[in-house]
Amino acid sequence: MATPHNNAKLGDFGKTVLMPGDPLRSKFIAENFLENPVLVNNVRGVQGYTGTYKGVKVSVMASGMGMPSIGIYSYELFTQYGVENIMRIGSAGAMSDKLKLRDVVAGMGACTNSSFAHQYGLPGTFAPIADFTFLETCVGVARELGVNMPVGNLLSSDVFYDASQATMKWAKMGVLATEMEAAALYCTAAYTGKRALAICAISDNIVTGEELDAEERQNSFTTMMKVALETAVRMEDK
């Protein structure tokens, strides 16, 4: 069942896969939150683990950076490994001074400057959105845990260093934060008939200039991780 990017076997992944961008964050989650985690994929160092959380089989695997990367891994998980739900658990740059470092936001939709959806040959502009059941379940979990999780639009950008310096124009349209993967994940889920959701922890704030370092991004997003894992448990029967 191996693909060019994944040497796991069919059945190695759970129904729900959590996808951080960073392979080291995948390893951190597996070792600190899952019971009996097993490394099931390590092609190109993109670590994928499967273990249990509260008795439910859950997997966590890195997506790498950018839409082409998550497009590959999510497509293979959905079509080759029987995965039903993928939740991106990434970092994002806030576009409002109301959002603080480590706050968690959920992407109901994902605006983008990418041409990723052009491959489908649609006669218009596709609007990438999260699966409602997945989103509703996650919002419920956040409320139960006492986590204030704003829900709205993300901007999935193809560029990190934006020469046009136009990123903040999206803020005028109510976009919460910018990241680099959600739109491709939502498109892939729609195309394959599966479920996707992106929740992101704020790693930096474009307005205030605050930011976390690489180690803090890897290890300190524990609130997001707990929301994601509890959501995975609830999605097992949906």
Interior angle at CA 42, CA 71 and CA 202, nearest 5: 55
First to last CA, the chain: 26
Distances (CA, A) of 168 to 47, 84, 101, 207: 33, 34, 18, 9
* Tokens standing for residue 207: 């307005």
Q: Of 22, 97, 103, 204, which is the active-site residue?
A: 204
Which of 151, 183, 178 lies closest to 70, judged by CA?
183
Where does residue 41 fall: left (phi above 0), alpha (psi -120 to 50 degrees), or beta otherwise?
Answer: beta
The kind and range of the H/E element at 200 are strand 195-205
Q: Does residue 204 carry a catalytic annotation?
A: yes
Q: Which residues pair with 106 in a beta bridge?
A: 151, 199
Which amino acids are annotated catalytic?
A: 204
